[in-house]
Amino acid sequence: MPIPNGGLVTETNRQYYAGAQQQYLATGGVGITMTSTFDTDLIFGSSDPTNGQYGLNNFLLYSSANALTWTEITPVTTVQNAVANENGGVASVNITLTAVNANILVGMTIYGGGITNNPTGAKVTNVNGVTITLDTAIALPGNATTAILFQFDLPYTMVDNIVTVAANLLANSYLKLELKSTAVEENYGSYEYTRLTDVIDNFLIAYVGAGKLIPSVKRSDIIFHAKRGLQEFSYDTLRSIRSQELTVNNASNVIIPQDYVNYVRMSWTDKFGVQHTIYPANTLTTDPYSAPAQDNLGVPTQDSFDSNITGTSQVEEAWASNDPRRISGAFTSQDNTSSSALNSNNFYELALGQRYGLNPETSQRNGWFTINDREGRISFSNDLKGKIVVIEYISDGNAYDLDARIPKLAEEALYAYISYGVLSTAARVPEYIVQRYKKEKSSKLRNAKIRLSNIKLDQIVQVMRQKSKWLKF
């Protein structure tokens, strides 16, 4: 169905796949509006590409005479040329043109060589034939006619997903609103989710009111329990796993992601894009949270503000300079070290995984990592310098607005969580009611976990056939 027909799908195929919507303009003029019907809210900073706020926009605006060739609407595309008669260098709010230009409109700013007394750009307040009235008096050279320019500094604005075009648009033309690629990608797959605001609204409609178990409740209370539910679900139910691709710097570390709660997996990728798991160095080393400087007696020393003087962590320095192969034994015959004599027959490469009694934590060459809470960084062993690492981690689902979405498979479980949260904190609610909804919450949460586990029948068949080892077609 290419056009929404009253169901839950509210975007056209063009909106969803191409990130664009357009409208035909039977009549032209200034002040034409276009209402966005995207599921993604529009973000507007400026319609002037030279303005630093322009980069905040998640959309672009285009016009076309035939819906085939499109031109982005910017201040440059609104420029109108005109020639004004000289006025003897006398400052005036009125400018007389040599010829009428119907495209010079109220709200435009005047520009041009030789104009004085116009530090901020005078704007057109009235147009009467060849007479242009400005909000600020300007002076033109007194010896000749002057070529001047008029343009809209902000050819369009946006408020509440409604774009208002200040520029003059022609009749029988087309206007197109197009999301930037990042916004389009965020919009893909959105039908899988329900917005947290919709969950809150639906809960108030279905569960709160006269004759219902919850007669009344503040919306703020519902929001609190909904966010708490989203947070709890994110840890082990919703699989709210994020990932970042980063390059390890020369100090062998990367900054912890802004919405990081806990790590799931660390890995580095080779030239083929294959991931190699990096293991935690929990039993090998640590990053001390503090390293106070000490005097000769071992007593921490303080500065003039009575705070401990921070010294350099010797543990971190030793670990940073350590060759991980001294731990893993991953030397080869090509290594020109004293240890190479012990590995003259490529013992590590040839006997990898075949040496009895090895400690799996140390007998690997993928490297190690530690979480440095003191510096807010993830530190890696020095053999990972310059490598591309992928950090997979858990967020709590509340860091960004885009996170505040609930998979439809877990929507009912969240309703049960909110119900229990409201009833368990309300006064004079019988305990058996609270316990009933506690059991219902647990039951629906278990159902959500099963649904979100995404186990398919063919995967079970593969397990039954010895873990994906297909012996024949």
What is the secondary structure of 115-149 as a DSSP string? Answer: -BS-SS--BEEEEETTEEEEEEEEB--SSS-EEEE
Cβ–Cβ contacts within 10 Å for residue 470, how many?
Answer: 8
- Assess whether 288 and 373 both reside in one domain: yes
Spatial separation of the C-alpha atoms in residues 96 and 112, rounded to whole Å = 15
| pTM to 2 decimal places | 0.70
Residue 73 clears pLDDT 90, i.e. is over it: yes
Residue 454 clears pLDDT 70, i.e. is over it: yes
- Assess whether 89 and 125 both reside in one domain: yes
- Assess whether 259 and 170 both reside in one domain: no
In a domain, 344, yes or no: no
Spatial separation of the C-alpha atoms in residues 232 and 79, rounded to whole Å = 55
Q: By three-state DSSP, how is residue 81 classified?
A: strand
- Assess whether 129 and 216 both reside in one domain: no
Cβ–Cβ contacts within 10 Å for residue 305, how many?
Answer: 5
Residue 391 clears pLDDT 50, i.e. is over it: yes
Q: Sort strands 275-280 and 368-372 into parallel, antiparallel or unpaired.
A: parallel
- Assess whether 315 and 378 both reside in one domain: yes
Name the residue range of residue 381's domain: 242-324+365-394
On whether the CB atoms of residues 196 and 399 are closer than 8 A, the answer is no
- Assess whether 165 and 292 both reside in one domain: no
In a domain, 472, yes or no: no
- Assess whether 256 and 119 both reside in one domain: no
Mean pLDDT of 285-304: 86
Enter the tokens of residue 467: 């873990």
> Which residue, among 402, 442, 421, has the nearest Cα to 222 in the 3D structure?
421
Mean pLDDT of 439-461: 85
Instruction: Note the pLDDT of residue 352.
Output: 45
Residues 6+ away with beta carbon under 8 Å from 250: 385, 386
End-to-end CA distance of the chain: 38
Average pLDDT, whole number, for the chain? 84
In a domain, 183, yes or no: yes
- Assess whether 250 and 102 both reside in one domain: no
The band of 83, judged by pLDDT with boundaries at 50, 70 and 90, is confident
Instruction: Note the pLDDT of residue 209.
Output: 92
- Of 128, 151, 174, which residue is a domain's last? 151
- Assess whether 296 and 373 both reside in one domain: yes
- Looking at the structure of the chain, the number of domains it has is 4
Tell me the CB-side half-sphere exposure of residue 413, using CA atoms within 13 A: 24
Mean pLDDT of 368-393: 91
Spatial separation of the C-alpha atoms in residues 84 and 102, rounded to whole Å = 15
In a domain, 347, yes or no: no
- Assess whether 202 and 317 both reside in one domain: no
Question: Which residue, chain included where needed, has tokens 């912890």?
Answer: 256
CATH number, domain of 35, equals 2.60.40
- Assess whether 18 and 94 both reside in one domain: no
In a domain, 196, yes or no: yes
Secondary structure tally for the chain: helices H, strands E? 10, 22
Which of 3-17, 108-122, 188-202, 208-222 is modeled with the greatest confidence? 208-222
- Assess whether 287 and 162 both reside in one domain: no
In a domain, 334, yes or no: no
Spatial separation of the C-alpha atoms in residues 218 and 48, rounded to whole Å = 43
